[in-house]
Amino acid sequence: MKQTQEFSDRDLDALFDGREVSDERLREVASAFTSMRSVLVGTLSDEHAAQMGAWLAAATPPVDAGAAPPRRAARWRRRFAAIGATATIAVMAVGGSAAANGAAPGDALYGIDRALERVGLLDGGVGERLTEAAHLAAKGENERALVHAAEAYETDAEPELASALLIAADAVRKGDGAGDGNESVADMLEWMATADRGEGFGQQVSAWARGLGVHRADDASPDGSQTQVPAKRPPGVENAPGAGVGVKPGTVGPTDNAGPPDHAGQPGGVGKPDGGDSAVETPDGSTPGDGDPVAPGGNSNSKPDHAGTPGKPDHAGTPGKPDHAGKPGKSGNEP
Amino acid sequence: MVLKDYFDTTLAAARAGAAWAWESIYRDMAGGLAGFFRGRGVNEVEDLVSETFLSVARDIHRFTGSESDFRAWVFTIAHRRLVDDWRARGRSVPIAESEFAETEAERRWFGDVEREAMTAMSLIEVNALIKHLTKQQRDVVLLRVVGDLSVAETAKVLETSEGAVRALQKRAFSDLRSLISQAASRFRDEER
């Protein structure tokens, strides 16, 4: 405790360490230091810290890379490497993320898509998950698609929707052989991805999703609803291959004046009244198979090109036709 | 020094690329780093913090030592980044002008408006104090007070001796004290 000037090193250490100081004369500066600390340091948001954690974990080189040349020699190389990494991230943000953004589960870029979303470079969110789910459904993987969509709502704190979708997924798995679920699942997911999530959205989706399950359970419902529905849907089917009608199910209504506009316009509205009419979607799925002579022709025309690029993300963006691609594909498989 | 007993485990997990480990390291040190850069008048504080952590992540396999060593190492990287930043700009960045400081305080990334409002001194006043110090004193004060480093750790970062750090903190203290007592009326003493 040597006493140069007025204060001991120990006192000053305590002061700079932010410990309690006993000396009255130190307190003014101690108070200034406290202010300095709180003003300059600030606070971190949990979200930001989590994002940075993921980012840094991704930036950590694999363990083997540790056995590297000595520090001095490596310094400049490391500096360039850091610059390179920053540049890579910048480039990824501009170009790569655009490519990765459209990726659906199972695609090569999908991991990158999710990683970038975690870090915050891409948007992510329910909308994108739903689009991905729609791609899956277009490929015929209905169950995975529904589970994928359910996960999206799970993380988005909408457990009712998530459970409705999981029930639907279950139903699809059980009723696997029936074959016509493809279109309705893809339709529903696509509508969910594009529709506004306003009032009643949840109920419509729940009703629709449960409808899938109900229909699966009693496969022999085609009588009443089937006659009613084909009246509405076939025009849509005819329009489909040529014009990109299917983007929003809602647009089907306006294009074909045949059906009651409100009915066709809001698929959710279709699904709402009771469980039975959500079977609305399914009977028309089965129509090309049994009834409608026009549709199979049109579909077989459209089939080859869809078959060429089944899983392409941008494809689904075009006209929502992937769901039709799914259907003919199915009916093609069955014979 | 928040991690203490968990430091070795956390460091090992960070080396293996575990996100939780990096998150806790980041939580532990990002505030201090940002405060250090901010006190030195850096404009893009968050950029430098990210760059510093990126270097840390890339070189983590080369690091060995205690938590104290680790903190000193991270701030050494930060200090070098700061020097590089200055050179890249080709000018010495002054401590924030008061007008800049005001807008800076508003759009602050780490900011917590409520908390700031309640502290005895504003960012402007704090910057005025820091500005008063010499460059070397400033480094010592910021590393010791804001960066929460010990005398030994500060000496490592600044590549000097502990005696030199103590001498600098002593001079910084007496300068600050006379400055504060001159302007005593401006600061309310609510902290202690």
pTM (predicted TM-score) = 0.45
Is A181 within 8 Å of A323 (Cβ atoms)? no
Q: What is the pLDDT of residue B158?
A: 94
Q: What is the pLDDT of residue A177?
A: 42
Residue B83 has pLDDT above 50, yes or no: yes
Cβ within 8 Å of residue A42, ≥6 positions away:
B31, B34, B35, B108, B109, B110, B111, B112
A179 or A87, greater pLDDT? A87
Phi, psi of B178 (to 5 degrees): -65, -35
Residue A69 has pLDDT above 50, yes or no: no
Is A147 within 8 Å of A169 (Cβ atoms)? yes
Is A254 within 8 Å of A191 (Cβ atoms)? no
Residue B146 to residue A57, Cβ atoms within 8 A:
no
Residues of chain A numbered 61-120 and touching chain B (CB < 8 Å): 61-63, 65-68, 71, 78, 81-82, 85-86
DSSP output for B99-135: HHHHHHHHT-SS--HHHHHHSSS-HHHHHHHHHHS-H
Residue A301 has pLDDT above 50, yes or no: no
Distance in angstroms (rounded) separating the CA atoms of residues A209 and A185? 8
Is A41 within 8 Å of B34 (Cβ atoms)? yes
Shortest CA gap A135–chain B (Å): 30
Residue with tokens 């943000």: A93
Helix axes A201-217, A159-174, angle to 10 degrees: 20
Of B111, B125, B187, the CB nearest to A42: B111
Shortest CA gap A62–chain B (Å): 7
Q: What is the pLDDT of residue A22?
A: 78
Residue with tokens 């204060």: A7
Taking CB atoms and an 8 Å cutoff, what residues of chain A touch B14? 56-57, 60
B162 or A103, greater pLDDT? B162
Please state the rounded mean pLDDT for residues A255-278.
40
Q: What is the pLDDT of residue B145?
A: 93
**Average pLDDT for chain A:** 59
Is A95 within 8 Å of B56 (Cβ atoms)? no
Q: What is the pLDDT of residue B184?
A: 60
Q: What is the pLDDT of residue A86?
A: 60
Give CA separation, B24 vs B12, B34, B66, B67, B125, in Å.
13, 16, 16, 13, 31
Residue B22 to residue A56, Cβ atoms within 8 A:
yes
**Average pLDDT for chain B:** 82
A227 or A131, greater pLDDT? A131
Distance in angstroms (rounded) separating the CA atoms of residues A321 and A302? 9
A253 or B127, greater pLDDT? B127
A26 or B156, greater pLDDT? B156
* Residue spans of alpha helices (H) in chain B: 7-15, 19-39, 45-59, 67-89, 98-106, 113-118, 123-132, 135-141, 151-157, 162-182
What torsion, rounded to 10 degrees, do the Cα atoms B128, B134, B137, B142 define? 40
pLDDT confidence bin for A309, thresholds 50/70/90: very low
Report the 3 state secondary structure along A246-275. HHCHHHHHHHCCCCCHHHHHCHHHHHCCCH
State pLDDT tens for residues B119-177: 456 778 888 888 889 999 999 999 999 999 999 999 999 999 999 999 999 999 999 98
Q: What is the pLDDT of residue A201?
A: 72
Residue with tokens 């016509």: A180
Flag whether residue B41 sits within 8 Å of chain A, measured between CB atoms: no
Q: What is the pLDDT of residue A305?
A: 43
Q: What is the pLDDT of residue A124?
A: 62
Please state the rounded mean pLDDT for residues A243-255.
39
Single out the residue of A31, A38, A89 nearest to residue B110, CA to CA. Answer: A38
Q: What is the pLDDT of residue A161?
A: 75
